[in-house]
Amino acid sequence: MSDNLGQGLSSLIPPKNNNSQSQFSGSARQQKSEEKIDSENILFIEVGKIKSNPHQPRKSFDKLKLQELANSIKEHGILQPLVLTKTEDGYQLIAGERRLEAAKIVGLPKVPAIIRDSSEQGKLELALIENIQRDNLNPIENAYAFKKLINEFNFTQQEVGKKIGKSRESIANTLRLLNLPAEIQRAILENKIKEGHGRVILSIPNVDKQLLFLKEIIKNNLSIRQAETMANKINRADPGRPKRKIRKDAQLKELEEKLENVLGTRVRLTKKGKKGKIVIEFFSSDELNNIIKKLSKK
């Protein structure tokens, strides 16, 4: 895992020490409202006063893993405090939703937490980073979180990648999953198929054929490699299929990479003789405006 992933929360959450871990269980100290523990400024906050993070990218929880976490909390307590921000009528969760849900299952009246000021953007960033660090988000959940950063906070794909320690190409590939029909997105979200299957399905241009292909993958439990083989057969049989991509020379690829670094999004260059074409991708009107601003700079 990239070291960059640790930077978001490590500055907010103090390192655990063996002397304080046992204090996060259901001990008598939890009965005191918002009591500070040692010098770490950790408070015990009533569960009922904590509202969920509206920017939480996770759409669903693995029930078995959540129950396992609840069992661990029942046995050992919460060893890692939640991160909250103060609101007019209580607190809002920034990071630690799985721990909070597990605490509710156990029936803990209060949970250990650190209070931090955070912007709306910060809440999304921290929720995203925390989920990647602790229990990876489903690819579709990741895609919607990336899209939210791009659409609402004017991030480029490259900037999103830097935030979470991934390449711009990886961000772009994940965002492309949102071009799939809702039924196929749901299949990935419910772990019926993998992200790799989704990318293979994207290679088929016809939506109706994509949906039929999804059923074949699930029915026959096709591996990603088997799905690729079948997709190639489907595309070869389709007279309207896109032409095979021509391998780019090294100079053209280098120019693409330079443009991508400047613009922060995917760029494709094609050349035929002295003529050619530049295709610049964007995923929202805000991202398009950012690209135009960069191109307008003298």
Q: What does the pLDDT read at residue 283? A: 64
pLDDT for res 78: 86
Band (pLDDT 50/70/90 cuts) for residue 34 is very low
34 is catalytic: no
The full set of domain ranges for the chain reads 3-134, 192-244, 250-296
Residues 268 and 281: their CA atoms lie apart, in Å, by 8
By DSSP bridging, strand 267-272 and strand 275-280 are antiparallel
Q: What is the pLDDT of residue 24?
A: 47
- Among candidates 238, 140, 219, which has minimal Cα distance to 183? 140
Q: Can you give the pTM of this predicted structure?
A: 0.54
Out of 46, 75, 97, 228, pick the active-site residue: 97
> In what helix (H) or strand (E) does residue 199 lie, and over which residues does it extend?
helix 195-202
pLDDT tens-digit readout, 57-68: 666 677 887 888
Please, are residues 131 and 124 in contact by the beta-carbon 8 Å criterion?
Answer: no
Which of 22-26, 52-56, 78-82, 93-97 is least confident? Answer: 22-26
pLDDT at res. 212:
94
* pLDDT higher than threshold 60 for residue 293: yes
- Supply the pLDDT for residue 217: 95
pLDDT: which is higher, 36 or 191: 191
Residue-level pLDDT at 172: 87
Give buried/exposed letters for 202-214 (b at 16+ CB in 10 A, else e).
Answer: bbbeeeeebeebb
Which residues, 6+ apart, have CB-to-CB distance to 116 below 8 Å?
A: 12, 83, 84, 85, 94
In the block, tokens 């050619």 appear at 276
What is the pLDDT at residue 134? 56
Which DSSP string corresponds to 228-251? HHHHHHHHHT-TTPPPPPPPPPHH
> Which whole number is the average pLDDT over 7-33?
39
Going by pLDDT thresholds of 50, 70 and 90, the confidence category of residue 25 is very low
Q: For the chain, how big is the Rg over CA atoms in Å?
A: 23
The CATH number of domain 3-134 is 3.90.1530.10:
yes
Lowest mean pLDDT among 137-146, 173-182, 220-229: 137-146
Q: What is the pLDDT of residue 6?
A: 38
Asked if 242 and 215 count as a contact pair (C-beta separation under 8 A), the reply is no
Rounded-to-integer distance, Cα 42 and Cα 111, Å: 10
- pLDDT recorded at residue 169: 84
CA distance 238 to 295: 39
Per the prediction, the chain carries an average pLDDT of: 75
For the stretch 194-203, pLDDT in tens is: 999 999 999 9
Per-residue pLDDT tens digits for 69-103: 888 888 888 878 888 888 888 888 877 888 888 88
- How far, in Å, CA of 41 to CA of 45, rounded? 12
**Three-state DSSP class for 161?**
helix
